[in-house]
Amino acid sequence: MNIVCANCFTTNRIPDDKDYNKGKCGKCQQAVYSAKPTDLTTNTFYPFVERNDLPVIVDFWASWCGPCQSMAPTYSKVAQSSPTLLFSKVNTEQVQQIAADANIRSLPTLVFFNQGKEVDRISGALNEMQMKQWIAGCLQKIT
């Protein structure tokens, strides 16, 4: 399995018989998997979304967006309890080109990627149950 380090964004190959949750990056020696959302930039967005074998959920948000701020703790909580997924965040104020490329029209928007391809998206603040239901639906689409 390939997993991109949440710290230095180096792609690491984890043998199938090893637990990726415990793997260390070959470059920076940090834990390769992070249960907290990873902040993505212009330089790290595409490598993180395209090179990970695990599905990646991206939260497109902005600091001025009230619903984004209210949903952030829920997003982090769901990330902590979802070890088979990777969670990331894109600040649309700082990474405007990525938001434009992803055709983000409202905030917050969650986009579910699998092997670099968009599977689904949903806009608007979600509570924990809604977010988990949406994720479950996305997982059904890829199995």
Q: Strand, coil or helix: what is 133?
A: helix
Selected catalytic residue, list 5, 25, 28, 68: 68
Are 88 and 56 in contact by the 8 Å Cβ rule? The answer is: yes
Cα distances from 123 to residues 64, 112, 116, in angstroms, run 16, 12, 20
Q: Is 138 a catalytic residue?
A: no
- Of 5, 25, 65, 138, which is the active-site residue? 65
Active-site residue, 68 included: yes
> What whole-number distance in Å separates Cα of residue 110 and Cα of residue 37?
12
Q: In which element (H, E) is residue 13 found? A: strand 11-13
Q: Which residues are catalytic?
A: 65, 68
